[in-house]
Amino acid sequence: MEHDGKTALVTGGSRNIGRAIAVKLAEEGADVGITSRTDEEGCEETAHQVQSAGGTAATATADLGDPDAVKTMVTDIREELGPIDVLINNATYRPEKAFLDLELEDIERTANVNFRGQILTSQHVVPDMLDAGRGSIVNLIGALVYLGDPGHVHSYGTKFSIEGITRQLATELGKDDIRVNAVSPGLIDTNRDRSESFERKKEAIVDSTPLGRLGTPEEIAEVVSFLASERGSFITGQVVHANGGTYPIPTIVPEDRGD
C-alpha cells in the first residue's frame, strides 16, 4: 500500500493511461480525483474502477486552457477528497496540422493547454504539498515528442516544454521535499483510432523497438506509481523513458514522401 492515506489527482483520467494510473494508485491505497475536459462518462467509469480497487473517487471536468476552470477543478477535488498529495499531469492536447497551415489560434490553444494549463494545475496543488511538508508530481510527455511526427510542431513542441517544467520545478521545490518527475511512454496499446496513419507509425516504432511490441497502460501506471511513491524518494527532475528501448529511431516519414 505505497499510497495509503494519500489523495491523488489524475488529469486526463477518463481513459487509457490516465485510467490505468488512477486505478493503480487506488490499488495502492490512494483516494483519487479524476478529471477530463468533457468526458464525464469516462471519468465515472474510472471512478467506478477506483472504488472497486478500494479507493474513494471524485470527478471533475475542466478545460485546462481556461485558467478559471483549472482553479475550480482543483478546488472541487480538494473539497471532496481533501488536500492533494500526488499530482499526475496526464491530460494533453495533440491536434495534427501541417506546419505551414498553422494559424495563431492553433499555437495559442496548444500552448494554453499543454504549457500554461500544466503550470497552473501544479500551482494550485503545490500549496497542499507545502502544508504537508512533502509531495510528488509526475508529468506525462510521450515518445513521439522526442521522435518527431509530421504535423505536430505546435502540439508536440508544447509537450516538449513539459521536460523543462519538470526540471525547473524539481529544482525550485526540492527544498520542500516535493519531487517532480516525468514519464515519457513509448507507443502504448490504447483505444485510439486504428487509422492508416496510426498503423504506419506503429509499424515503424515497433520495428525499431528492442522489445518488439507496444506497451500497455498498466506498464506505464507501474512506473508512475513508483515515481510518486516513497520508493522513488531520491529521484527528482528526471524523465523516465518507458518505451521498450525505442531509441534511436528515424523520423516517421510522411505518407506523400514514400519510403
For the entire predicted model, the pTM comes to 0.93
Q: What share of the chain is helix, strand, coil (3-state, %, to 5)?
A: 50, 15, 35
Give the start-to-end residue ranges of the domains of the chain: 7-257
Find the largest Cα–Cα distance for the chain. Answer: 56
Task: Share the mean pLDDT of the chain.
Answer: 92
Residue 207 banded pLDDT, cuts 50, 70, 90: confident
Task: Write the CATH number of the domain with boundaries 7-257.
Answer: 3.40.50.720
DSSP 3-state of 231: helix
Whether the pLDDT of residue 99 is over 50: the answer is yes
Name all contacts of 166-173 with Cβ < 8 Å and 24+ positions apart.
166/139, 166/237, 166/238, 166/239, 167/237, 169/122, 169/137, 170/236, 170/237, 170/238, 171/237, 173/126, 173/129, 173/135
- The tens digit of pLDDT for each residue in 8-55 reads 999 999 999 999 999 999 999 999 999 999 999 999 999 999 999 999
- The tens digit of pLDDT for each residue in 235-249 reads 999 999 999 988 654
Whether the pLDDT of residue 133 is over 90: the answer is yes
Separation in Å, CA 202 to CA 71, 176, 194, 211: 37, 41, 10, 13
